[in-house]
Amino acid sequence: MRILITGGSGFIGQALCPVLLDQGHQVMVVSRRPQRAAKHLPHDVEFRASVAECVDFQPEVIINLAGEPIANRRWSEARKAELLESRVRTTDALVALAKTLDQKPKVLISGSAVGFYGDCGSETVTEDSEPGTGFAHELCAQWEAAARQATPYVDRLCVIRIGLVLDQPGGLLDRMVPPFRMGLGGRMGSGKQCMPWIHRQDMVRIIDWLINHPSADGVFNASAPNPVDNATFSKALARHLNRPAMFPAPSWVLKTAFGEMSELMLEGACMVPQKLLDAGFDFIYPELDQALADIVER
């Protein structure tokens, strides 16, 4: 199939593209800097600098992952606008593209995140749970609303509310592992906030599964079935690195250092992938210990 991926040069895309190519698909990545992106992707990947330039490709599947990195800089009002704009603008462009295609794409798989649910304490959250509040929620809600505009122009729309994707190099662990390796790791705030994580290999398998299951439609939580709280995550990471987890980062320190962005560290939702579990999706890494053993001890 002809598969178009926005943000395909990123952490998830770098693992996804080789898998799709191995299956014999034609993969086109939209990237603002195709030459730089090409260094991170197999040479069979084709590139376009904008969604509007992809009409001749006539994609049968569209995967929408593009967006400014959410945790790179403090959330000033200008930064929040960039985070939002980068996602909504790209999604709007995909809707416009889908309208012009000769045939409806079989599926649009569009990104979102656990942040949609806001801060839910220890309550288990499924696709049916009510959304929360906060900027992460607002960002995801607007991103999802933009994707819903594609509904008349695609056979299926799957929105993936992605958990914390684990692998190395890259992603969350690139930030967490160095201090933990130095023995300076520990829980953040109370440590009770939930961290719905997922091994990058399972993340790629979920996208592949959604492409290949014509009955899959709507919102899917994309995280492992066994989320843990931050204290448990910190202890597990330290154990796999053979280090102690003795240095908690108090909430006030994180709030002072990161401002509003500290909600990413201090809040969470105990998200479970109920729809994938009900449909019989088989996770290779359902437990955090299995995932960390594979990634950190690799």
**Residues found near ligand NAP in the complex (CB under 6 A):** 7, 9-13, 31-33, 37, 65-70, 86, 90, 111, 113, 162, 164-165, 171-172
Task: For the chain, give the number of residues.
Answer: 298
Closest approach, Cβ 102 to ligand NAP, in A, equals 26
Is 244 or 286 the residue whose CB approaches ligand NAP more closely? 286
What residues have CB less than 8 Å from 8, skipping those under 6 apart?
16, 17, 27, 29, 30, 31, 37, 41, 45, 63, 65
Query: Which residue, chain included where needed, has tokens 């569009």?
Result: 110
- End-to-end Cα, the chain, rounded Å: 33
Q: Is 247 exposed, middle or buried (0-12, 13-18, 19+ CB in 10 A)?
A: middle
Is 171 or 244 the residue whose CB approaches ligand NAP more closely? 171
Closest approach, Cβ 85 to ligand NAP, in A, equals 7
Amino acid at 252: W
CA pair distance 187, 229, nearest whole angstrom? 9
Indicate the DSSP class of residue 242.
T
Q: Which residue is nearest to ligand NAP (CB)?
A: 10
Is 53 or 68 the residue whose CB approaches ligand NAP more closely? 68
The 3-state DSSP class for residue 168 equals coil
Closest approach, Cβ 246 to ligand NAP, in A, equals 26
Q: Is the peptide bond before 169 cis (omega within 30 degrees of 0)?
A: yes
Closest approach, Cβ 244 to ligand NAP, in A, equals 26
Indicate the DSSP class of residue 74.
-
Is 44 or 250 the residue whose CB approaches ligand NAP more closely? 44
Is 71 or 253 the residue whose CB approaches ligand NAP more closely? 71
Is 51 or 241 the residue whose CB approaches ligand NAP more closely? 51
Closest approach, Cβ 181 to ligand NAP, in A, equals 20
CA pair distance 230, 166, nearest whole angstrom? 14
Closest approach, Cβ 160 to ligand NAP, in A, equals 8
CA pair distance 231, 191, nearest whole angstrom? 4
Closest approach, Cβ 24 to ligand NAP, in A, equals 23
Is 225 or 244 the residue whose CB approaches ligand NAP more closely? 225
Task: Give, in order, the Cα–Cα distances in Å from 100 to each of 29, 61, 94, 96, 111.
Answer: 19, 14, 10, 7, 22
CA pair distance 279, 276, nearest whole angstrom? 5
The token pair that represents 57 in the structure block:
């490709």
Closest approach, Cβ 134 to ligand NAP, in A, equals 15
How many other C-beta atoms can be found within 10 angstroms of the C-beta atom of residue 81? 10
Is 162 or 176 the residue whose CB approaches ligand NAP more closely? 162
